Amino acid sequence: MSFNAAQLSVLAYANGFTHWHYRTADSLDLVLSPVYFAPAAEMLRAGDQITLNLQQDATIGLAHLVVANIVGRQLDLALVAASPTRQAMRQAA
Residue 77 β-bridge partners:
67
pLDDT tens readout for residues 16-39: 999 999 999 998 999 999 999 999
CATH topology of domain 5-92: Ribosomal Protein L25; Chain P (2.40.240)
CA distance 87 to 3: 21
Neighbouring C-beta atoms of residue 92, cutoff 10 Å? 15
- Taken in order 21, 22, 23, 29, is the CA torsion positive or negative? negative
Q: Domains of the chain: which residue ranges?
A: 5-92
Picking from 12, 87, 15, the residue whose alpha carbon sits closest to that of residue 51 is 12
Statement: residue 61 has pLDDT above 90: no
Q: pTM for the complete prediction?
A: 0.84
